[in-house]
């Protein structure tokens, strides 16, 4: 019986190189490097000298036809993820796409619909933060109802500082035609996923977005979004790539408590003794006076728990790879099914469209309108083909 999955790595850049190193060092025990593909001759030469027994290809389709791989991971520019995922699945090869699943929902829908016709194959996405035990625990707390119904979410995530040289290293970076956007499609997709994975899908968004605000780029480097979950529940997401200090703080407020996450490492969970409205309605005037005087006994109102998890570098990524291989080998449930990838893409599309139109946009957005607006920006660059 086969006990290791042969993974084909498409693109030996930063992410692909990291995955190759992890697998080579045995951090993914149920996986081996089956083959590597890259169009860059220097990277192919590096692959051949570093992984001597691994076949190296220039054309990923040739690799898919070679018989050297059981599965692939698509560590390539975002626009290519759907077409490469479909190419692999159509040849009976399992597919793990990098985040985001694509740039616009129409192409991701095509990938999802095709994957649904291949239920015997494993289709996953590299949402490595779903393998973070801290966020797994937070999801459990929210789903159990321990903090009640969610009333508000706030995520300030600006730990993505990128100097100008980062954008200048590749012609496709920070372009509409090459990358499809800025911080929303490159840095913050994990948070877009976690927000919906933990708190649910918002009904609509209203966004204020700055393009080339603090960098010489065409796409967004500053984003502020108001989320509407319906029934009066709202949220705010703020992200940027020009904050050299950076902040990562995620708050979830519910009827019966509050969760505060700092730096994606520590969570403080406050659990109210009763529903907040009940506490409010039954508090005596004397207790109100004590509250205003700062003498209120908080222990009579809520308990506090601190949760901390630390994991070694790469453990979250290697864990997704291991889980993906386990699903192939023995049916272990996927941490991140590939079909979930459309959620973050849809949210990013809605944020862009809200910014472009100056209107509140439902998550069930006009996909044709979005693609039309995207292609307008691609045409203005004059460097890349329009998308269909």
Judge if 85 and 189 occupy the same domain.
Answer: no
Among 207, 258, 265, 211, CA closest to 237: 207
- The predicted-structure confidence for 267-312, as pLDDT tens digits, reads as follows 999 999 999 999 999 999 988 888 888 877 888 899 999 999 877 6
Residues 190, 116: one domain? no
Q: In this structure, are 83 and 110 located in the same domain? A: yes
- Tokens read off for 282: 């039954």
Residues 184 and 228 in one domain: yes
Please check whether residues 248 and 134 belong to one and the same domain: yes
- Alpha-carbon distance 115 to 326, whole Å? 18
What's the CATH number where 304 sits?
3.30.360.10
Number of H helices and E strands in the chain, helices first, is 14, 15
Tokens encoding 326:
């386990």
The pLDDT of residue 196 is 98
- Specify if 351 maps to a domain: yes
Q: What b/e sequence results for 46-67 when a residue is b if at least 16 CB atoms lie within 10 Å of its CB, and e otherwise?
A: bbeeebeebbbbeebeebbeee
Q: What CATH code is carried by the domain that includes residue 322?
A: 3.40.50.720
Q: Which residues pair with 306 in a beta bridge?
A: 268
Contact 51, 36 (CB under 8 A): yes
DSSP per-residue string spanning 47-77: HHHHSTTS-EES-HHHHHHHT--SEEEE-S-
**Cα dihedral 381/385/386/388 (nearest 10):** -160
Other CB atoms within a 10 A radius of the CB of residue 359 amount to 11
Give yes or no for a cis peptide into 100 (omega within 30° of 0): yes
- Residue 286 shares a structural domain with residue 231: yes
Q: How far is CA 353 from CA 3, 42, 188, 298, 370, in A?
A: 46, 39, 17, 44, 6
Domain range for residue 74? 5-127+314-338
Bridge partners, residue 260, by sequence: 251, 268
Encoded tokens for 169: 């290293």
Determine, yes or no, domain membership for 13: yes
My answer on whether 100 and 248 are in the same domain is no
The reported pLDDT for the residue numbered 139 is 98
In a domain, 331, yes or no: yes
Question: In terms of domains, do 188 and 82 share one?
Answer: no
Give the model's pLDDT for residue 310: 76
Tell me the pairing of strands 302-308 and 266-272: antiparallel
Residue 267 shares a structural domain with residue 367: yes
Q: For the segment 343-376, what is each residue's pLDDT rounded down to a tens digit?
A: 999 999 999 999 999 999 999 999 999 999 999 9
Which residues of the chain, if any, have pLDDT below 70?
1, 312-313
Q: Are residues 100 and 145 in the same domain?
A: no
In a domain, 387, yes or no: no
Region of 13 (left: φ > 0; alpha: ψ -120 to 50; beta: rest) is: beta
Q: Tokens for 31, please give them.
A: 């996986």
List the structure tokens of 316: 């979250």
User: Residue 292: what pLDDT?
Assistant: 86
Cα 14 to chain centroid distance, Å, stands at 17
> Is residue 266 in a domain?
yes
């Amino acid at each position: 019986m086969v006990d290791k999955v042969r993974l084909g790595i498409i693109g030996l850049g930063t992410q692909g190189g990291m995955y190759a190193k992890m697998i080579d060092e045995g951090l993914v025990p149920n996986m081996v490097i089956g083959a590597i593909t890259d169009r860059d001759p220097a990277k192919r030469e590096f692959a051949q000298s570093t992984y001597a027994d691994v076949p190296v290809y220039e054309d990923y389709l040739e690799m898919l036809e070679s018989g050297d791989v059981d599965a692939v991971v698509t560590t390539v520019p975002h626009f290519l993820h759907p077409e490469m995922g479909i190419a692999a699945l159509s040849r009976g090869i399992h597919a793990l796409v990098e985040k985001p699943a694509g740039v616009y929902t129409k192409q991701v829908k095509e990938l999802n619909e095709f994957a649904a016709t291949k239920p015997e194959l494993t289709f996953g996405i590299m949402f490595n933060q779903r393998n973070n035990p801290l966020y797994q625990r937070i999801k459990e707390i929210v789903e159990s109802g321990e903090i009640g119904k969610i009333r508000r979410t706030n995520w300030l995530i600006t730990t993505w500082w990128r100097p100008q040289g980062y954008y200048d290293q590749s012609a496709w970076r920070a372009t509409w035609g090459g990358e499809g956007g800025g911080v929303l499609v490159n840095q913050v997709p994990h948070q877009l996923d976690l927000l919906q994975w933990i708190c649910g899908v918002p009904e609509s968004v209203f966004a204020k977005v700055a393009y080339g605000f603090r960098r010489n780029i065409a796409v967004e480097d500053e984003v502020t979004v108001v989320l509407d979950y319906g029934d009066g529940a709202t949220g705010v997401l703020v992200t940027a790539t020009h904050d050299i200090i950076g902040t990562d703080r995620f708050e979830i407020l519910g009827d019966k408590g509050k969760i505060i996450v700092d730096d994606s490492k520590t969570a403080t969970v406050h659990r109210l003794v009763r529903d907040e409205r009940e506490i409010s309605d039954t508090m005596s005037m004397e207790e109100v006076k004590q509250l205003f005087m700062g003498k209120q006994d908080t222990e009579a109102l809520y308990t506090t728990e601190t949760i901390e998890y630390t994991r070694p570098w790469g453990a979250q990524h290697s864990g997704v790879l291991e889980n993906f291989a386990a699903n192939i080998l023995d049916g272990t449930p996927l941490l991140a099914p590939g079909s979930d990838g459309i959620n973050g893409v849809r949210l990013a599309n809605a944020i862009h469209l809200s910014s472009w139109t100056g209107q509140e946009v439902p998550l069930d957005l006009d996909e044709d309108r979005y693609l039309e607006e995207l292609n307008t920006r691609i045409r203005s660059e004059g460097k890349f083909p329009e998308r269909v």
